[in-house]
Structures are given as C-alpha cells and as structure tokens.
Amino acid sequence: MKKITILSLAVVSAVLLFGQIGIRVAPQSRLFNGWGLSPAGEPIELPADMPTRILISPDSKTLFVNSTGFNEHGVAAIDLATRRVVQHVDLLKSWIGMADLGDGRILASGGGPMPAEPKTWGVRSGISPAVRERLKDPAYLLEWRDKKLSFAKGIALPPSAAAPRFISGVAKGRDGSVYVLDAGNDTVFRLSGDDFQVQASGPAGYRPYEIAVGDGVVAVSNWGEGSVSLLDPDTLRERARIPAGKFPNQLLFAPDGRLFVANSGSNTVSVIAGNRVIETIDVALRPGSPIGSTTDALAINPAGSRLLAANADNNDVAMVDISNRARSTVMGFIPTAWYPTAVAVSPDGKDLYIGAGKGLGIGANVPFIEQAYRLGRPPENNLDNPKIDSKQYNYLGTLLRGFVYTMRVPDARELQSLTARVRANHPEPKKPEPSIQEAALSKIKHVVYIIRENRTYDQVFGDISRGNGDPNLVLFGAEATPNAHHLATDYVLFDNFYANGDVSWDGHEWCDYAYATDYTQRFWMYTYSGRSGLPQDGRLRGLPGSSLWELAGRFGLDYRNYGEGRGRPSETLSALGPRRRDTDRVGAFIEEMKKAETTGDWPALLVMSLPGDHTQGMLPNAYSPVAMVADNDLALGRLVEAVSQSRFWKETAILVVEDDAQDGPDHVDAHRTVALAISPYIKRHFVDHTQYTQVSLVRTIETILGLPSLTQYDEAAVTLENDFTREPDFSPYTAIVPRVNMEARNPKSGVGAVASLRLDFSDVDRADPTALNEILWNALRAGKPVPPPVHSMVFASHDDDDEAGARTHKYK
C-alpha cells in the first residue's frame, strides 16, 4: 500500500514542479478528506482567504483580488511581472462584489452591518479611525492611482427599516451608472456613477447574489430560490424570472448576448437566451454525477468561444467550448488548489487566473511544530519544554490562506494531460467486496446513527496505547469516558478518522447530507470571525439534496429521528423539553425500542443527536465539563447495552461520530476525531489505520440499507467494509458507570466562569470555539500550556506497498 507522509504548507510550496506539458503543476497531495490536489499554474499567496473576484487592470499588468473569508477582508494588488502582492487594502468587512468602474476606480461590496463590538480587523495595517468609520458603509470605492491602491470613500445607501443591508453583487452599467444588490432586503439599486446617489430601486428574488449587465438588460442571480431575474436597466422593473439550477451564484453575459449562470447546487451552468434556459451544461468530471461539484465562479474569453467554470468542491476548473450556440462541449479540466472560488481570463485571451479559497490546505501550526523541529526533536510529548512557545492558540480559520494561480490557457494536448491530473485527484466510486456484502452487510436490517459534538481523537482516545494518540492532549480519558474506551478497544479503534467539516455549521451537513453548500462554506467563516451574517429563513441554508433519513424514506424505509433533524421526530424525546441531558435522550430511545420489541417492528434507520460532550465550559452552575462528557458517555453505554440485549441486536449496527472536531488539540490534525462501530458483525479488538471521514459512515449506512449515494463525496468514500467480519459475535454489552461525579456543577466564580459568561451557550456551537477550547484546557489541565491545533497535508508516494491500510504518519 502507498506510504503516506504529512508535510507542512511551507514544504508544499517548495516542491512545486514543472510538468512535461510545459505548465507548472504541483505533485499530488491529499487533503485529510482523501481528495487530491495538484494545482496547475504559478502560485501567488494572498494575505487572506476566500478570494471571490479577480479584476485585471486596463494595461494587463496588475490583478485586483478581494478576500472575503475568515481573516482580513480587503483587496490585494498583484504585480503580474513579479507575481507578487505589492499592496493590500484592508477592509473591515466585505463580500463577493467587485467591479471596475473605469478611470482607476473600483467598487467593492461591504457585506453586512458593522458589529457593535468589531474585532481588531485592520489594526495591523493602521486603518485610521476616520476610515474605520467610513467602512461602516455598505459599499466602498477604491482608487488605483500611480500604481497605488487606496480606500477613497464609503458609499451610503438609504437605511432599511425591514432588515440590515447586506451588499452582495455590484456592476457597472453600460451608461456609466452603478448597480448594487442588497441581499439582506432582496433589493437592487441603480446609482449614479459620479456621486452614487440612488436613481432607481426594485425588488429581486430571495437573497440575490450577483448582478450582470447585458445589452438592454440587467440580470440578477437569486441565490436562495434557484432563479434569475431579468430587469429593465433604467427602471429595474422585472421583465422575467427564469428558473435556473439550485443555488445560482455567479453569472455573466457572453459577447453574443447569452447569459451563463453557475448553479452551485446542481453541478451545472444554465445558459439563458430569449427569456428561457436554452441549455444546461453539466460541468462535473463525470457527467450525471450526484451533487457535490459546487460550481461557483465563471469566466468567458474575449472571443466568446470558451467558458471557464470553477468547481469548488471538485478542486478543478472546467473548460467548455461554447462557440456553438446550439450545443456546448466540455473540453477538459484544470486541477486547482483547494476550493476554487474565482476565475478570470486576460484581455488577450492567452492567460488564465484562478483564485482558491482555501489554498493548499492549512498545514502545520508554525509556532509549535516548527519550533520543536528547530530543536531537533518531534513535537509530540514536548508540551512542557520551556524552549517551545506553545501558548499561541491559532484557530483553524486564522490559518486559512487564499491563493491565485496564473497560467497560460492550455492547448488541447495540455488540457488532456491536465484532465488526467484531475481524474487522479478524484476518488473513484467504490463498491464493497461481494463476500463481505453477502456475509455481513446484508444481514444488518437496522442502523443506529449517533452524532455527538466537538471532540478530537487525542482529547478522548489519546491515552489508548494501541492507537496513534498523544496522552499529553487527553482531556476526557478513561475515567470520564469508560464506555467509549471499552467499545473502541473491544470493537474497532479508528485512529485515522477525520471530520469533513470545520465547525458545526458544516459538520452537521456533512454528517446528515454528505455535503456542505457554498452558503455554509462561505458564511461559517464570515460569522465565526465576528462579522454580521446574511439573514435567511432556511431556504438559503437548506441543502440541494436529501438528508440520509429523507433518502431512506424515499426508498420505502422507516426511520426515526432523535434530535438531529425534523423528519419523523421521537414523540417521547420531544415531550422531555429542550433542557434534557443525554441520558434522558437515550432513555426516550430505549422506551420506544422496548415498545417496538413487542411488535417486532423497528425502523431501519434511527438517527440520534447526543450533544452533551460539547459542554458549557465553566459557565457558572452549569454541569461541569467532565460531568457533561461522562453523562454523554453513560448515555452511549446504556444505548449499546439496551440494543445488544434486545431482539434486534442480531440485525443491528451502531455507528457513532462527532459532528466536527472544532479545531481542538490533536497531534495529527485538528480534523481528526472520534468514531465507533458496534455490531455483532464488527471485528473485535481491531485497530484500523485506514483514512476515513464522516461520509465514510454515511456511505456505509447507505450500503447496509441498499440506498444510493447522496453526493459525490459519499459516492467516492471508503466504507467501513474492512471492519466487518463474516463470523458474528452476538455477546451483549454492559454499560459502565463513569468514575466521576456526573452531578458536579461549575463554581459561581473564577477565571473560567468569567470567560464562559462571555460565550453564547444558547445553542450548540454559538460559543466561540477558540475561547471554549482554551477554557476547557485550563480547567482540566491547569498549569499546562494550551496546545495549538495541527493541520496536515498528506503526500502520497508509491514506493512502498507493504502496508495493508493507508496510515497518516507523524511529522518526519
């Protein structure tokens, strides 16, 4: 099997090589989720993350690139001769819109309102108080003069009584006017191009995203309702509203008047002409694939013959021949860095610029890892070393960096080679080995799927010597989690299992839907960084596909939901009210299961949320962190005990996962998390080093229940097939009571209490995860420095095939 080594971001940047095709291409690396990266082009690192628009100066010597992610928002000026960022104008808040108004003027959207207590954005660049005040406006004017980019002024709009303004797309009109979208109020404005006074306004669809100006028409993509509005350019009266794909975002007109619309929830680009969709282009690598490409950025060459469509979740850009109005043809694909979010073509049509929202992955945390290696020793087990400064706790979002890649537009031969690279980066759909399917998976008729909250592998299992753990990082060891420990060692210990998501916003979507939308991917960064999000009523937050339980229902299977979703909820659980402990949740589950035993009729899929291990920090008088985690563990143990002693045990599998790792301490990667598999058909006393993710569990459930895949991610996921056995063991399990006080309450005062009172515990993951991790560490490991998170990039080499399972090794 392939040997896998983890390298830091600095190493990734250093090993970029020229391919045989004459275009610079990186050697293949693999993200923690198993998808490959081998970006083409010359990399330019940006000061921040999530670039969404690339503008080109009239002399084609400079790129202007915005950043709208977790870190500093702003616009970078890139000198194309040196391929360097020569300037970055920091903005406190911004969003996706950016337009060239001519004469060196650039209009940028300002996103939502300024928070009451903004963080220290812009401090490092010395933004003056006067400029900070003008940055409260919903849009900004920047100026490029004498090769210097500067903030010129804020652009105000009339206040809204309905909802705060949230400026999204912006565009320049054919007559010099300016168009601005207010996504917060579903409104489009026409402004004068000189003093930016409102000339007209009108309604758009639900949560408009981007705006484009054509010949006698203005087009708006309605992100939240799957449509495109065509407006009169003067009055903004809507002439037509045309259904498009799911979650349409960027759109632009070709020279011949056709309108191209990227549909992030459909893997497609809609082509509109004559007030109707005349063509839908499938831009996924494998046509007809389930959702998962997340098409989110477009560019058309000046000749109008080529369309470039960025697929964020496929890490590629599709090149499409659009010269034939009757039928477009996908020519091939260009490999990109992680999560491409912007694309542009030079005015002469020869060069291509691709922005990647998440760059090359996050890499190792520099202060901890690199200082350790400068001392000539590995970082693990060195938290007490006085020469290593591990006090700096960098949250995952702060480590994100965007990139822009520059390259010439590939010819047919080069595109063929680049397409082969893309195919190699995409995991292939897999089917289970027939004998395991027949002997084990087909015997299981019921799946209990349990989703817990926010723990890394090392926080819980770092003390299990058989796995790849670091005992120095354990917060909730065997005393607090005896059932999890016993089940992991008695069944399968997964020490190379990762959360697909970064936080609970996307973590639950990955667990439930095997996918996170572009809305979620963008706005967790926006809101977790303290900026004001875009108000939405669920239509925008909704998923383009089905949940796992909805899929089961569609195929005629019964299911029951215990707190994870709204479909077919447990009436017994609902009657307990919102302030229930995890042992109460499981009590409701057991009560309903016992009733089912009398009839023999039990759902095929039972989905349960057990969120207590999230804890409430040191919030005064709340249950202590150890008490909450222990209650969560006992709940798990009681559920397994009850099921294993029931009539359903011989046909049941219990799969357990965390919704995310929330960037907590882990010596391999902050995405590495806890997973369990329990069933008579699961191997005993087995350690599995295979690289799995949350969607591996989703795919395993689908395989057991005979369901198709939901998305491209679970379609290509590695199932837990390696952990099933043809020789079942029907021994029941007995729950273990944790040897801690599960009724313990937090003190009413103290440093942790004060810090916890500043956090929002009204719902799961509204509390600042960085602060919560630090509170937990200081409460449970007093006197020890807070360890920083580690983030890994995996490089695959083919020089060693002696391992049966791929393993993520420690830093070497």
Number of helices and strands in the chain (H, E): 17, 43
Q: Average of pLDDT values for 362-383?
A: 39
pLDDT at residue 792 tops 50 = yes
Would the CA dihedral through 285, 290, 294, 297 be positive or negative? positive
Between 781 and 807, name the one with better pLDDT. Answer: 781
What the block records as the tokens of 451 is 């989703």
Query: Cα 299–303–304 angle (5° rounding)?
Result: 50
Query: Cα 464–469–470 angle (5° rounding)?
Result: 105
Q: What is the pLDDT of residues 737-790, one digit of tens each?
A: 999 999 999 988 877 777 777 777 766 666 676 677 777 777 777 666 666 556
pLDDT given at position 580:
83
pLDDT given at position 576:
66
Q: Average of pLDDT values for 684-699?
A: 97
Q: Average of pLDDT values for 325-329?
A: 95
Of 313, 309, 337, nearest to 322 by C-alpha is 309
Between 534 and 63, name the one with better pLDDT. Answer: 63
* Strand pairing report for 178-182 and 187-191: antiparallel
Q: Average of pLDDT values for 171-185?
A: 97
Contact at 8 Å (CB) between 692 and 497?
yes
Any idea what DSSP says for residue 195? T
Q: Give backbone dihedrals phi and psi of 567, rounded to 5 degrees, phi first.
A: -70, 125
pLDDT given at position 383:
36
Decide: residue 206, CB within 10 A, 0-12 exposed, 13-18 middle, 19+ buried: middle
* Helix then strand then coil, % of the chain, to nearest 5: 25, 30, 50
pLDDT at residue 128 tops 80 = no
Domain count for the chain: 1
Contact at 8 Å (CB) between 178 and 157?
no
pLDDT given at position 810:
25
What the block records as the tokens of 180 is 């601005």
Q: Average of pLDDT values for 383-394?
A: 40
Identify the residue whose tokens are 């401090």.
Answer: 123
Q: Average of pLDDT values for 557-572?
A: 80
Of 560, 579, 580, nearest to 570 by C-alpha is 560
Beta bridge partners of 446: 652
Any idea what DSSP says for residue 348? T
* Identity of the amino acid at 549: W
- Interatomic CA distance for residues 705 and 713, integer angstroms: 18
Between 583 and 504, name the one with better pLDDT. Answer: 583
Identify the residue whose tokens are 């795919």.
Answer: 699
What the block records as the tokens of 92 is 């406190």
Contact at 8 Å (CB) between 63 and 55?
yes
Contact at 8 Å (CB) between 313 and 293?
yes
Any idea what DSSP says for residue 111? B
What the block records as the tokens of 642 is 């009850």
> How far is Cα of residue 595 from the mean position of the Cα atoms in its chain?
40
60-64, 407-411, 536-540, 757-761 — which is least confidently predicted?
A: 757-761
pLDDT given at position 789:
58
Residue 117 lies in a domain: no
Q: Cα dist. 282→243, 294, 333, 706, 773 in Å?
A: 16, 12, 13, 27, 43
pLDDT given at position 2:
33
Q: Give backbone dihedrals phi and psi of 629, rounded to 5 degrees, phi first.
A: -65, -40
pLDDT at residue 791 tops 60 = no
Q: What is the pLDDT of residues 253-275, one digit of tens each?
A: 999 999 999 999 999 999 999 99
pLDDT band at 366; cut points 50, 70, 90: very low
* Identity of the amino acid at 765: D
Of 526, 502, 521, 403, nearest to 48 by C-alpha is 403
Q: Cα dist. 652→488, 718, 726 in Å?
A: 17, 21, 15
Q: How many residues does the chain have?
A: 812
Of 223, 226, 228, nearest to 209 by C-alpha is 223
What the block records as the tokens of 699 is 């795919």
Local structure of 73: helix, strand or coil: strand
pLDDT given at position 701:
97
Return the CA Rg of the chain.
27
- Interatomic CA distance for residues 656 and 610, integer angstroms: 10
pLDDT given at position 43:
96
* Strand pairing report for 446-452 and 605-609: parallel
Q: Average of pLDDT values for 496-520?
A: 91
pLDDT at residue 136 tops 60 = yes
Would the CA dihedral through 7, 13, 19, 25 be positive or negative? positive
pLDDT at residue 10 tops 70 = no
- Interatomic CA distance for residues 288 and 281, integer angstroms: 11
- Interatomic CA distance for residues 810 and 555, integer angstroms: 43
Q: Give backbone dihedrals phi and psi of 573, rounded to 5 degrees, phi first.
A: -70, -40
End-to-end CA distance of the chain: 19
Residue 665 lies in a domain: yes
How does the average pLDDT of the chain come out, rounded?
Answer: 86
Q: Average of pLDDT values for 1-30?
A: 53
Q: Average of pLDDT values for 188-202?
A: 97
* Identity of the amino acid at 349: G
Domain extent, residue 442, equals: 434-791
Identify the residue whose tokens are 């801690």.
Answer: 740
Beta bridge partners of 332: 319
pLDDT given at position 365:
33
pLDDT given at position 781:
72
pLDDT given at position 126:
59
pLDDT at residue 140 tops 60 = yes
Residue 327 lies in a domain: no
Residue 274 lies in a domain: no
pLDDT given at position 3:
31
pLDDT band at 534; cut points 50, 70, 90: confident
Q: Average of pLDDT values for 570-593?
A: 82
Q: Cα dist. 806→221, 464, 495, 501, 652 in Å?
A: 43, 20, 11, 21, 28
Q: Average of pLDDT values for 533-546?
A: 82
pLDDT band at 353; cut points 50, 70, 90: very high
Q: Average of pLDDT values for 341-351?
A: 98
Beta bridge partners of 298: 309
* Element holding 66 (H helix, E strand): strand 62-67
Residue 714 lies in a domain: yes
Residue 651 lies in a domain: yes
Q: Cα dist. 560→183, 564, 566, 605 in Å?
A: 36, 10, 10, 7
Local structure of 445: helix, strand or coil: coil
pLDDT given at position 384:
39
Q: What is the pLDDT of residues 281-324, one digit of tens each?
A: 999 999 999 999 999 999 999 999 999 999 999 999 999 999 99
**pTM score:** 0.89
- Interatomic CA distance for residues 179 and 193, integer angstroms: 9
pLDDT at residue 507 tops 60 = yes
- Interatomic CA distance for residues 754 and 43, integer angstroms: 45
Q: Average of pLDDT values for 630-638?
A: 97
What the block records as the tokens of 766 is 């509204």
pLDDT band at 431; cut points 50, 70, 90: confident
Q: What is the pLDDT of residues 445-455, one digit of tens each?
A: 999 999 998 88
* Identity of the amino acid at 116: A
* Element holding 789 (H helix, E strand): none
pLDDT at residue 472 tops 90 = no
CB burial readout 60-80, b (16+ within 10 A) else e: eebbbbbbbbbbbbbbbbbeb
* Identity of the amino acid at 517: T
What the block records as the tokens of 350 is 């020869």
Q: How many CA atoms lie within 13 A of 547 on its CB side?
A: 20
Residue 34 lies in a domain: no
CATH number at residue 781: 3.40.720.10
Would the CA dihedral through 265, 271, 273, 279 be positive or negative? negative
Contact at 8 Å (CB) between 59 and 29?
no
pLDDT given at position 116:
65
Contact at 8 Å (CB) between 130 and 185?
no
pLDDT given at position 9:
38
146: number of Cβ within 10 Å: 6
Q: Cα dist. 310→324, 346, 409, 612 in Å?
A: 21, 16, 14, 39
pLDDT given at position 385:
40
